[in-house]
C-alpha cells in the first residue's frame, strides 16, 4: 500500500484525513476516539477566552444535501480546556487547537496559554456575533490576527477561512502575509431554514452554517483558487464524505483534508476514506504529492 | 429531517411540577428513546417517552417551563424518536425508577407485560406529593415505593428498597432516574451491572452524534446516539456519578 504519511502545514501526519473543528471535539476522550478510528489529526472544538453556552436550540437542521448548524461557539474557555487537549495528545496523533477571539490580542493570549501541536484560527464561524467571519471577512484583520498569534506561539498556525466573501483568495493572501503556516478552507456557508407550518426560523440563532455534500463544489473551487495563488499549503474541508471526495479535494490542491459532517455516519468514515484513498493511489501508481494540485496542472 | 409539526392533544397534570403531554401522532418509539421537542421561539430539549404518543415532563428550566405554558391545541416541532432505547430480555424483569425517570419505565413495563414478562418495580420519590404513575406500576406487578421524607412507603432513597428484593431473581434490571440515585443503585449492585440497562442523561445539543457535547469519559461514548440507554457495566468506570459536562462543555457536579 502507498504511504499516506505527509508533511502538511508544519505538521507530520500519518495520513491526510483530519477531524474538522466543531465535530466531536469537546472532550479529550472523543478526540482520542477519532485517533483510534484512524484520523491523521484532530482539530478541537473552538475555544475562546470566556465560557459560552452557545445558542438556544434547535442547533441543527437536516436539509437536502447537508446540515445547517448554529451551535454558537459553546466552550468552557481556554482556561478550562488544556486537560482535554492533553488527553487527546496522549493518543500520539497531532491535536490542532481551534481558537477564536474578537481581536488580535485575545487570540494571542489564548495561543500563549495553550499547549497544542498547532493552532487553527477560527476567523470564519458564520453565526456568532463579534467572532469568526465578522473579523475574518476583512483581509487586514486576518493578517493582524495571524501575525499576533504567530508572534505569541512557536507551533504552526493555520487560518480557517470563510467562503462568505467575494474573494477568498484575498483572505488567504492576508493569512499568508501574516505568517500563517497554512490555510483551511472552507468554513460553512451562512444559511437559514424556515418552518413553513409557523414561519419561525428553525435555528435558535436564526442563521447558521451549511455543511455537508451540498457545499463540496464550493469548497473544491475555493481550494483550487487558493492553491493556485498561495505559497503556503491549503487544507481542504467542506462536504467530504467519501474517499472520492477526498481525492477530488486533493486534486484541487489540498495538502490535507478535514472531515466533519460525514461523522454523522460514525467514526468509521476515517478508515473508509483512508483505505479508499490508499487503494486509489495504488491503482493509479501515484503518490499523494503527485495527486496534490493535479487539476491545476492539467489546466496550465 | 426538519422538525415535524405536532399538535398537543391533551395535557395531564401528574404532580405539581410534572405533566404528561399527549401528541397527535405515534412516532413508534421504543421505551428509553427520546425526542427533541422544539418549543418555537424558545429552545429545543430532549424528552423521554412515557408511552407511544406521550411525553412526561418535569418543569426544571426555561424550555420546560415554556412547554408548561402550552395547552391542548398548541403545537411543537419534533425530531425523533432518537437514540437507543431499552431492550426487553428474559422472563422476569425489575424496573427501578426515580422521580420523573419512572416515565420511560412505565412505558417499558406495559410492553413487557404485554409480551408475557413478569414485572416488578422499585420506585423512589422525594415525597408523596411527587408521586407519579403509581396505578400504572401497580397494574404491572409488585411495586415497592420509597420516599425521601417517609411520607409514603419505605423512608429513604430508592436504594433503601433494595433490601426487599433479591436481584438474582431477575433476568434484567431497567434503571432510570436522577444521576446520583442511579449511581447509588449501580454502585451497590455491581455484580448485576451486566444485566442492568440504565437510561442516562447528558447535555444534548445536536442529538445527532456530531457536536460532542454529550460524550462520556473515558470512552467518548456519544450518549445522544449510542445511548441514552447503556449497560451499567460501561458506566462503572466512567464519569457517570462523578461529574458531567454542562452547556459550555466544562465539567461540573452531577445533579440529584
Q: How far apart are CA A105 and CA A152, in angstroms?
A: 9
Contacts of A24 in chain B (CB under 8 A): 210-212, 215, 220, 222
Q: Which of A252, A247, A241, A231 is nearest to A286 (CA)?
A: A247
**CATH code of the domain in which A13 resides:** 3.20.20.70
In angstroms, the separation between the Cα of residue B73 and the nearest Cα of chain A is 14
Residues contacting residue A58 through CB under 8 Å, at least 6 positions apart: A202, A203, A204, B3, B36, B38, B44, B77, B79
**Minimum Cα–Cα distance from B38: chain A residue:** A58
Its ipTM equals 0.94
A208 inside domain = no
Q: How far apart are CA B3 and CA B5, in angstroms?
A: 6
At A1, the pLDDT band (50, 70, 90 cuts) reads: confident
Q: Output the nine-digit C-alpha cell for A238.
A: 467542506
- Report CB contact under 8 Å: A57, B216: no
- Report CB contact under 8 Å: B2, A62: yes
Could you count the other beta carbons within 10 Å of the beta carbon of residue B7?
13
CATH architecture under which domain B92-252 falls: 3-Layer(aba) Sandwich (3.40)
User: Among partner residues A69, A75, A195, which is closest to B248 by beta-carbon distance?
Assistant: A75
Contacts of A33 in chain B (CB under 8 A): 219-220
- Report CB contact under 8 Å: A69, B217: no
- Report CB contact under 8 Å: B222, A24: yes
A270 inside domain = yes
At A300, the pLDDT band (50, 70, 90 cuts) reads: confident
Contacts of A264 in chain B (CB under 8 A): 208-210
Q: Where are the domains positioned within chain B? A: 4-82, 92-252
Q: What is the pLDDT of residue B256?
A: 60
Report whether pLDDT(A230) > 90: yes
A1 inside domain = no
**Minimum Cα–Cα distance from B239: chain A residue:** A29
Angle separating helix axes A28-36 and A82-89, nearest 10 degrees:
20
A40 inside domain = yes
Q: Which of A70, A45, A52 is nearest to A60 (CA)?
A: A70
**DSSP output for A33-70:** HHHHTT-SEEEPPPB-SS-B--PPSP-EEEETTEEEE-
Q: What is the pTM of this model?
A: 0.95
Contacts of A29 in chain B (CB under 8 A): 215-220
In angstroms, the separation between the Cα of residue A1 and the nearest Cα of chain B is 31
User: Among partner residues A26, A31, A62, which is closest to B1 by beta-carbon distance?
Assistant: A62
Contacts of A202 in chain B (CB under 8 A): 2-3, 38, 77
What's the pLDDT tens digit per position in A77-95?
A: 999 999 999 999 999 999 9
Residue pair A216/A238 in contact by the 8 Å Cβ criterion: yes
Q: How far apart are CA A94 and CA A96, in angstroms?
A: 7
A205 inside domain = no
Residue pair B93/B171 in contact by the 8 Å Cβ criterion: yes
User: Among partner residues A56, A67, A74, which is closest to B43 by beta-carbon distance?
Assistant: A56
Please tell me the total number of residues recorded for chain A in this structure: 300
Per-residue pLDDT of chain B (256 residues; tens, 9 = 90+): 799 999 999 999 999 999 999 999 999 999 999 999 999 999 999 999 999 999 999 999 999 999 999 999 999 999 999 999 999 999 999 999 999 999 999 999 999 999 999 999 999 999 999 999 999 999 999 999 999 999 999 999 999 999 999 999 999 999 999 999 999 999 999 999 999 999 999 999 999 999 999 999 999 999 999 999 999 999 999 999 999 999 999 999 987 6
- Report CB contact under 8 Å: B3, A69: no
Catalytic annotation on A125? yes
Report whether pLDDT(A2) > 80: no
**Quick check: helix, strand or coil at residue B4?**
strand
Chains A, B: CB pairs < 8 Å: 129
**What's the domain count of chain A?**
1
Residue-range definition of the domain harbouring residue A98: 6-54+71-193+214-299
A199 inside domain = no
- Report CB contact under 8 Å: B38, A57: yes
Helix (H) or strand (E) segment spanning residue A75: none
Q: How far apart are CA A247 and CA A12, in angstroms?
A: 20
Q: Which CATH number fits domain B4-82: 3.90.600.10, 3.30.450.20, 2.40.30.10, 3.90.550.10?
A: 2.40.30.10
Amino acid at each position: 500500500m502507498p504511504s499516506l504519511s505527509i508533511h502538511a502545514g508544519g505538521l507530520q501526519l500519518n495520513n491526510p484525513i483530519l477531524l474538522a473543528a466543531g465535530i466531536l471535539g469537546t472532550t479529550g476522550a472523543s478526540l482520542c476516539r477519532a485517533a483510534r478510528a484512524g484520523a491523521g489529526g484532530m482539530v478541537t472544538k473552538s475555544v475562546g477566552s470566556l465560557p459560552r453556552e452557545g445558542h438556544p436550540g434547535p442547533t441543527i437542521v437536516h436539509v437536502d444535501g447537508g446540515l445547517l448548524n448554529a451551535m454558537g461557539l459553546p466552550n468552557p474557555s481556554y482556561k478550562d480546556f488544556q486537560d482535554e487537549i492533553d488527553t487527546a495528545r496522549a493518543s500520539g496523533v497531532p491535536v490542532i487547537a481551534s481558537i477564536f477571539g474578537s481581536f488580535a490580542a485575545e487570540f494571542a493570549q489564548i495561543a500563549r496559554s495553550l499547549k497544542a501541536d498547532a493552532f487553527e484560527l477560527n476567523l470564519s464561524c458564520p453565526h456568532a456575533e463579534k467572532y469568526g467571519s465578522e473579523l475574518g471577512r476583512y483581509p487586514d484583520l486576518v493578517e493582524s490576527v495571524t501575525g499576533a498569534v504567530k508572534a505569541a506561539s512557536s507551533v504552526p498556525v493555520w487560518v480557517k477561512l470563510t467562503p462568505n466573501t467575494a474573494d477568498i483568495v484575498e483572505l488567504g493572501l492576508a493569512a499568508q502575509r501574516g505568517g500563517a503556516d497554512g490555510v483551511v478552507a472552507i468554513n460553512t456557508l451562512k444559511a437559514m431554514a424556515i418552518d413553513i407550518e409557523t414561519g419561525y426560523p428553525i435555528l435558535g440563532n436564526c442563521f447558521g452554517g451549511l455543511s455537508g455534500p451540498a457545499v463540496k463544489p464550493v469548497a473544491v473551487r475555493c481550494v483550487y483558487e487558493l492553491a493556485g495563488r498561495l505559497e503556503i499549503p491549503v487544507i481542504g474541508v467542506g462536504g467530504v464524505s467519501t474517499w472520492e471526495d477526498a481525492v477530488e479535494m486533493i486534486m484541487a490542491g489540498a495538502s490535507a483534508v478535514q472531515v466533519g459532517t460525514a461523522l454523522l455516519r460514525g467514526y468509521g468514515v476515517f478508515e473508509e476514506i483512508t483505505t479508499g484513498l490508499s487503494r486509489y493511489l495504488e491503482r493509479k501508481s501515484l503518490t499523494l504529492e503527485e495527486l496534490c494540485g493535479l487539476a491545476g496542472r492539467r489546466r496550465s | 429531517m426538519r422538525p415535524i409539526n405536532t399538535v398537543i392533544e391533551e395535557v395531564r397534570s401528574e404532580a405539581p411540577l410534572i405533566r404528561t403531554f399527549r401528541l397527535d401522532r405515534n412516532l413508534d418509539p421504543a421505551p428509553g428513546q427520546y425526542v427533541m421537542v422544539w418549543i418555537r421561539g424558545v429552545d429545543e430539549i430532549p424528552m423521554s417517552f412515557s408511552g407511544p404518543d406521550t411525553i412526561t415532563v418535569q418543569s426544571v428550566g426555561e424550555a420546560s417551563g415554556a412547554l408548561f405554558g402550552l395547552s391542548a391545541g398548541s403545537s411543537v416541532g419534533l425530531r425523533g424518536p432518537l437514540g437507543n432505547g431499552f431492550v426487553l430480555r428474559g422472563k422476569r424483569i425489575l424496573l427501578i425508577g426515580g422521580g420523573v425517570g419512572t416515565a420511560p419505565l412505565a412505558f417499558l413495563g406495559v410492553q413487557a407485560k404485554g409480551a408475557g414478562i413478569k414485572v416488578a418495580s422499585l420506585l423512589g420519590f422525594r415525597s408523596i406529593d411527587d408521586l407519579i404513575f403509581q396505578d400504572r406500576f401497580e397494574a404491572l406487578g409488585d411495586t415497592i415505593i420509597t420516599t425521601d421524607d417517609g411520607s409514603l412507603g419505605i423512608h429513604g432513597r430508592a436504594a433503601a428498597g433494595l433490601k426487599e428484593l433479591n436481584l438474582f431473581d431477575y433476568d434484567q434490571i431497567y434503571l432510570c432516574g436522577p444521576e446520583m440515585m442511579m449511581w447509588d443503585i449501580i454502585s451497590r449492585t455491581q455484580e448485576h451491572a451486566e444485566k442492568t440497562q440504565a437510561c442516562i442523561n447528558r447535555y444534548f445539543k445536536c442529538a445527532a452524534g456530531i457536536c460532542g457535547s454529550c460524550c462520556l469519559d473515558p470512552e467518548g461514548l456519544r450518549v445522544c446516539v449510542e445511548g441514552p440507554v447503556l449497560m451499567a457495566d460501561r458506566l462503572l468506570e466512567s464519569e457517570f456519578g462523578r461529574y458531567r459536562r454542562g452547556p459550555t462543555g466544562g465539567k461540573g457536579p452531577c445533579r440529584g
